[in-house]
Amino acid sequence: MKISQLAKSLPESATLRLNEVARQLRARGEPVIHLGGGEPKSKVPMDAILAASSLLNSGEIRYTPSSGTVEMKKAIIRYTEEHYHRVIGPEHILVSNGAKQAISVALQAILDPQEEVIILAPYWVSYPEMVRIANGQPVIIYSEDGRFHPRMEDIEQAVTSNTRAVIVNSPNNPTGIAYSREFIEQIVRFCEKEGLYLIMDDIYNQLMFDGKKFANCFEFSTKSPDDTNIILINGVSKMYAMTGFRIGWAITNPRLIEAMDKIQGQTTSCPSALLQAAAVGALNGVQDTVESLRISLQNKRDVLVTELSKIDGVKITKPDGTFYCFPDFSAYEKDSVKLAQMLLEKARVVTIPGKEFGFEGHLRISFCGSIKDIVEGVERIRWVIDPSAPNEIVIGERKLVRDWL
């Protein structure tokens, strides 16, 4: 039977694939340490659980409006006023089955075939593929100076008559780097001047460290909510550790929301009533869990950076936020896929190859697991690649001797 060229051209999500590899190995009793995961391990807020339980106990769980419930939109309006100092109405909001769907629906609503979207490397693995699914062309931008922080001159040079949007994710997955206020101001002003959509993926905006604050894109905009070219993306997955609830949202001008709503209504109909209720509970409830998670992640980041610094030759850029670090292992192995496979085979440590994010020689290492796993995982990595590390190690119940260096 025929399979479309689009379907055949799309790679499997690297992060989801490696999650499954880790699950299968653990099911076989292998002593796997997963340092590639993208979900916090803290408990879902009790306010979310109680809100969902209340609706579940009512037995009245029906379709909702395709763009989200009234209660969900009210919670988003309040959140936006508190954190972005922006007054919006329900007509500016689309609630989706996760922030990922919100981005995908936005791209489908703004792109005609072969139109271009600028993506800043390193980038989240799904951005280029979502652009392709929407029949667009991803244009990947690398800073000339090789840093993780983008430069406006590199972006400006890439814009053509076919460019329709720029995607900005700060703090960034996979690097954890937060782009400067100056850059966010420049990109907002530039996109307004050029008539480009600016997709701001702020899913990690509450998970920043060392007293740093995320740069509020609306602060630099000269446009009203009714004619804004900013598409702000957020959701409950990261800051509330509610990855399995799949509730996200987009905020933009009403005309675009209407178009996105039609696309979503014809595909997934509406977000789950039950999961929206849980998200409302999280957004309106006690916010201590967000700060507790942030503090915990900052501590784990410090542990990871300390442990990685023990490996000679590994270059580390200290993350400003998220729960990812993107160290450079090219002194040992420039092929990140080969390196990640070796770490999995030799030491049962799961990492994500930098190639998936547009940067070779790097690995994405997550610090949202336990401190024990972070310390032991990096110890295993060092044993595999660093000649100065001890030649023997105990993994699980087996004592292993390194014989390849």
Dig out the tokens for 203 from the structure: 């899913």
Cα 177 to Cα 169, 181, 272, 295, distances in angstroms: 9, 12, 33, 17
For residue 236, the one-letter residue type is V
Is 146's pLDDT higher than 80? no
pLDDT band at 11 (very low <50, low <70, confident <90, very high): confident
- CA-closest candidate to residue 361, choices 176, 172, 146: 146
Q: Regarding predicted confidence, which is higher, 163 or 144?
A: 163
Please give the average per-residue pLDDT across 212-230, as a whole number: 98
- Average pLDDT of the chain to the nearest whole number: 95
Whether CATH 3.90.1150.10 fits 5-43+288-401: yes
pLDDT at 38: 84
pLDDT at 289: 96
Sequence ranges of the chain with CATH classification 3.90.1150.10: 5-43+288-401
pLDDT band at 12 (very low <50, low <70, confident <90, very high): confident
Is 23's pLDDT higher than 90? no
Contact, 327 vs 308, CB < 8 A?
yes
Q: Regarding predicted confidence, which is higher, 325 or 9?
A: 325
pLDDT at 1: 86
Contact, 16 vs 38, CB < 8 A?
no
Sequence ranges of the chain with CATH classification 3.40.640.10: 46-284
Q: What is the 3-state secondary structure (H, E, C) of the chain?
A: CCCCHHHHHCCCCHHHHHHHHHHHHHHCCCCCEECCCCCCCCCCCHHHHHHHHHHHHHCCCCCCCCCCCHHHHHHHHHHHHHHHCCCCCHHHEEEECCHHHHHHHHHHHHCCCCCEEEEECCCCCHHHHHHHHCCCEEEEECCCCCCCCCCHHHHHHHCCCCEEEEEEECCCCCCCCCCCHHHHHHHHHHHHHHCCEEEEECCCCCCECCCCCCCCHHHHCCCCCCCCCEEEEEECCCCCCCHHHCCEEEECCHHHHHHHHHHHHHHCCCCCHHHHHHHHHHHHCCCHHHHHHHHHHHHHHHHHHHHHCCCCCCECCCCCECCEECCECCCCCCCHHHHHHHHHHHHCEECEEHHHHCCCCEEEEECCCCHHHHHHHHHHHHHHHCCCCCCEEEECCEEEECCCC
pLDDT band at 111 (very low <50, low <70, confident <90, very high): very high
Please give the average per-residue pLDDT across 296-324, as a whole number: 97
Write the pLDDT tens digit of every residue in 271-283: 999 999 999 999 9
For the chain, give the percent of residues with pLDDT over 70. Answer: 100
pLDDT at 39: 87
β-strand pairing of 248-251 with 93-96: antiparallel
For the chain, give the percent of residues with pLDDT over 90. Answer: 89
pLDDT at 14: 72
Write the pLDDT tens digit of every residue in 26-61: 888 889 999 988 889 899 999 999 999 999 999 999
CA distance 382 to 169: 31
β-strand pairing of 352-353 with 349-350: unpaired
Is 17's pLDDT higher than 80? no
Is 317's pLDDT higher than 90? yes
Please give the average per-residue pLDDT across 233-247, as a whole number: 97
Dig out the tokens for 227 from the structure: 């004619």
pLDDT band at 10 (very low <50, low <70, confident <90, very high): confident
pLDDT at 122: 97
CA distance 55 to 163: 44
Class of domain 46-284: alpha beta
pLDDT at 215: 97
pLDDT at 41: 87
Contact, 135 vs 112, CB < 8 A?
yes
Please give the average per-residue pLDDT across 145-163, as a whole number: 92
Write the pLDDT tens digit of every residue in 344-393: 999 999 999 999 999 999 999 999 999 999 999 999 999 999 999 999 99
CA distance 141 to 118: 7
pLDDT band at 16 (very low <50, low <70, confident <90, very high): confident
Write the pLDDT tens digit of every residue in 74-92: 999 999 999 999 999 999 9
pLDDT at 223: 98
Cα 44 to Cα 33, 40, 69, 330, distances in angstroms: 23, 10, 21, 38
Q: Distance between alpha carbon 48 and the CA centroid of its chain, in Å?
A: 22
Phi, psi at residue 117, to the nearest 5°?
-125, 125
β-sheet with 116-120: strand ranges across: 93-96, 248-251, 230-235, 197-201, 163-169, 116-120, 137-141
Contact, 300 vs 368, CB < 8 A?
yes
pLDDT at 245: 97
Q: Distance between alpha carbon 130 and the CA centroid of its chain, in Å?
A: 14
Is 192's pLDDT higher than 80? yes
